[in-house]
Amino acid sequence: MNIKKLIYILIFVQLSVSAFSNNPADTVQADTTVPWGFTSLNMLSINQIAFMNWASGGESSLSAKVSTEYDLTYKKDSFTYEHSGKIAYGLVGYIDKRVEKTDDLFDFLWSANHEAYKNLHLTGMLTFKSQFANGYKYPDDSTLISTFMAPGYINLSMGLKIKPNNDFQLYLSPVAGKLTMVLSQELADKGAYGVKKAIIDTAGNIIRNGENVLSEVGVKVLTTYKTKLMNNIDLRTTLNLYNNYTDYVTSNRWNIDVDWDTRVVFNINKIFSSILYFHLKYDHNTLISEYEIIDGEKTLVSQGPRLQLKESFGLSLSYKI
């Protein structure tokens, strides 16, 4: 599918789903006398599978994931401060063989908002995203592909936010600065995540190290929607689009980065929940390698930006505040 068509579809889906509002009779009125507000969802998921003399094959494994999502708000008169965070880390262990990372993320957002007109806010926003631990292209655990602050993303922007209610918001920024940091020199020398790679002579010696920071200025669009689909089913979806109109490669200036994640929580009771998580990404600066076995050896056959997809579904212990 053409990536631009996909982006149009994502925008349509995001705006369409936000058109569904809660029944006024079911709406709980907020206590406007209390300026601070805080909510969080904390989850622990564990999955185990075992095989013994299983004719069809398979590997015994034990996996676990811990995650938290929270929102902190402060509102007084026409001023609103918002801070939200997502933290997750997961591992899977194949008995007596190896341990692999399944999830690794911290993603924080801060924004200051002034309501200039009804539902229209002047907004300054800062976001920061990275990971905790080394990442490898499993089952190969010797080739590093990511680590703490490689990549790390900082985005600072000013713009307008449309927020008709607490469930939906649309943020538009025509001037959004983005810093992509690759603090691992090993990855920077390879030109990972869009930074300029090292210059190497014919003997393989590094003449100039790869750069550790890529600076961009562009347009940012961020939309978030959350609602109760049913009495025990909660939906939260976020679509983040970014276009760098200052790319030093002119032909890349029409590329749009996509980051869309959706979480559906099926609440079984106060303790147990079933979580469906869907995350789709496209970043022109993130090159995905494809290998084939040629003459018995693993050989790189292509490398380029590709649509990235992660999906998970499982039972979790959950605690809401």
Query: Is residue 109 within 8 Å of residue 69, measured between CB atoms?
Result: no
Residue 53: inside a domain: no
- Mean pLDDT of the 277-297 span: 84
Q: Which of 95, 97, 105 is nearest to 135 (CA)?
A: 105
pLDDT on residue 219: 96
pTM here?
0.84
pLDDT band at 5 (very low <50, low <70, confident <90, very high): low
Reported as a single tens digit per residue, the pLDDT across 209-218 is: 999 999 999 9
pLDDT of 31 reads 55
pLDDT at 32 over 60: no
pLDDT tens digits, one per residue of 64-122: 999 999 999 999 999 999 999 999 999 999 877 788 999 999 999 999 999 999 999 99
127-140 per-position pLDDT tens digit: 999 999 999 987 77
Q: What's the pLDDT tens digit per position in 169-226?
A: 999 999 999 999 999 999 999 999 999 999 998 888 999 999 999 999 999 999 999 9
Q: What share of the chain in percent tops pLDDT 90?
A: 60
Amino acid letter for position 170: L
In a domain, 286, yes or no: yes
Structural domain contains residue 51: no
**The residue to which tokens 């631990």 are assigned:** 133
Domain membership of residue 44 (yes or no) is no
pLDDT higher than threshold 70 for residue 16: no
Average pLDDT over residues 260-282: 92
- 52 is a domain residue: no
Tell me if 223 is assigned to some domain.
Answer: yes
Task: Provide, rounded to the nearest whole percent, the portion of the chain with pLDDT above 70.
Answer: 89
**Cα–Cα dist 210/310, whole Å:** 30
Q: 64 in a domain, yes or no? A: yes
Give the separation between CA 70 and CA 56, rounded to whole angstroms. 43
Q: Is the pLDDT of residue 36 over 70?
A: yes
Report the pLDDT value the prediction gives residue 303, as an integer from 0 to 100: 80
The domain containing residue 301 runs over which residues?
A: 3-27+58-320
Single-letter amino acid code for the residue at 146: S
In a domain, 46, yes or no: no
What's the CA angle centered on 261, arms 259 and 266, to 5 degrees?
180
- pLDDT, position 14: 52
Burial category of 311 from C-beta neighbours within 10 Å (exposed 0-12, middle 13-18, buried 19 and up): exposed
- For the segment 233-269, what is each residue's pLDDT rounded down to a tens digit? 999 999 999 999 988 888 888 899 999 999 999 999 9
* Domains of the chain: total: 1
Instruction: Please report which helix (H) or strand (E) contains residue 6, including its range.
Output: helix 3-18
35 cis-preceded (ω within 30 degrees of 0): no
Contact (Cβ atoms closer than 8 angstroms) between residue 108 and residue 93: no
